[in-house]
């Protein structure tokens, strides 16, 4: 087997989540090189340098201006990993694909359906790869669940119910996540984005209408949210997000079918099915899990299909647009798309 050269990567955004991904990538030196980073905060860059030093590696240079980075390093790069505030994803992903790079972008992909369509157009025009780093869609649990649901093993989907909760208000107080101009929304679009995406992925079809209510709890963004929706096939869906509770971060998703009840989480943290005659659900065996970057490389190398392409991001963006529109009208039903 011929050994391939490590993928030369631009890492864009070195905040807490960015450094989490960098730690994992530094354990994959046979496949990956972080050639340059793009981080406007000197403090965040210093913490990033420490990660490389502890791994006995020379820290990559930092070019805080992405346009300058692409101009100076573009011909030496293969890919980009974007881990920045939500509102920046569209322009950064577009610029990277236009420069010839394959892109892995953190969740949520974009903040609106218009931006999602724009990235799909850019992907198609440039021929570059675009993968969204949603842990749910990338998990073997959700991929297995999707296969089970599409096969008809459990019968048609009847209803879907999902809930996510976290002490989000206090955990992210005074951070960009609670600033609507860069976050694109509150709890339901931050931690709750995992719920929206996983439900859309499990459903495998578009929402046609929703009714939604937000409670901002005196913040500039939503902290509590409830959504009722209907899919194109008539399937009924409920979504519940609570971002102000005891210290915790958890979820539950249930898909009700005639031949069983499928249970999972918004991050794909488990997969269980309760069949007729069973008093309790039983765990479903799934393949070993891989991290976002490992799967991105596997897709890039043609070893697996894209588990979370921008088309999934577009479905979620249509849903989010409708949720915001309905919540702004105190729960009036809004058509999706």
pTM above 0.85, yes or no: yes
CA-nearest of 74, 142, 143, 82 to 107 is 82
Sign of the dihedral defined by the CA atoms of residues 178, 183, 185, 190, in that order:
negative
End-to-end CA distance of the chain: 47
* Mean pLDDT across the chain: 96
Q: Is the pLDDT of residue 219 over 70?
A: yes
pLDDT digits (tens, 9 = 90+) for 133-162: 999 999 999 999 999 999 999 999 999 999
pLDDT digits (tens, 9 = 90+) for 242-275: 999 999 999 999 999 999 999 999 999 999 999 9
Residue 3 is predicted with a pLDDT of: 53
Q: Is the pLDDT of residue 2 over 50?
A: no
CA distance 169 to 185: 13
> In the β-sheet with 159-166, what is the strand arrangement from edge to edge?
282-283, 271-274, 260-264, 249-257, 159-166, 236-242, 224-231, 207-215, 334-335
Strands 207-215 and 236-242: unpaired
Quick check: helix, strand or coil at residue 179? coil
pLDDT > 70: what percent of the chain?
A: 99
DSSP 100-169: T-EEEEESSS-SSHHHHHHHHHHHHHHT--EEEE-HHHHSHHHHHHHHHHHHTTT-S--EEEEEEEE-HH
CA distance 337 to 334: 10
CA-nearest of 317, 316, 334 to 325 is 334
pLDDT digits (tens, 9 = 90+) for 51-84: 999 999 999 999 999 999 999 999 999 999 999 9
């Amino acid at each position: 087997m011929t050994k391939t050269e490590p993928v030369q990567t631009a890492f864009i955004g070195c905040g807490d989540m960015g450094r989490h991904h960098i730690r994992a990538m530094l354990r994959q030196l046979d496949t990956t090189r972080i050639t340059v980073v793009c981080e406007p905060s000197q403090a965040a860059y210093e913490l990033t340098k420490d990660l490389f030093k502890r791994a006995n590696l020379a820290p990559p240079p930092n070019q805080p201006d992405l346009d300058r980075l692409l101009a100076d390093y573009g011909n030496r790069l293969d890919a980009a990993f974007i881990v920045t505030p939500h509102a920046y994803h569209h322009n950064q992903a577009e610029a990277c694909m236009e420069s010839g790079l394959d892109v892995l972008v953190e969740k949520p992909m974009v903040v609106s359906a218009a931006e999602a369509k724009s990235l799909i157009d850019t992907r198609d025009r440039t021929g570059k790869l675009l993968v969204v780093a949603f842990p749910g869609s990338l998990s073997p649990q959700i991929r297995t669940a999707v296969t089970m649901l599409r096969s008809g093993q459990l019968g048609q989907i009847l209803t879907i119910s999902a809930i996510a909760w976290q002490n989000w208000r206090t955990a992210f107080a005074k951070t960009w996540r609670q600033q609507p101009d860069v976050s694109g929304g509150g709890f339901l679009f931050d931690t709750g984005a995992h719920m929206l995406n996983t439900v859309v992925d499990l459903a495998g079809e578009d929402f046609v209408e929703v009714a939604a209510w937000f409670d901002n709890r005196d913040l500039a963004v939503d902290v509590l949210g409830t959504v009722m929706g209907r899919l194109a096939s008539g399937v009924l869906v409920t979504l519940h997000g609570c971002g102000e509770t005891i210290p915790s971060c958890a979820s539950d998703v249930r898909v009700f079918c005639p031949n069983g009840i499928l249970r999972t989480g918004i991050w794909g943290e488990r997969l269980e099915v309760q069949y007729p005659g069973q008093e309790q659900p039983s765990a479903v065996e799934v393949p070993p899990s891989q991290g976002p970057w490992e799967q991105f490389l596997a897709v890039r190398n043609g070893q697996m299909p894209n588990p979370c392409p921008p088309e999934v991001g577009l479905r979620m963006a249509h849903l989010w647009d409708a949720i915001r529109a309905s919540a702004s009208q105190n729960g009036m039903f809004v058509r999706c798309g």
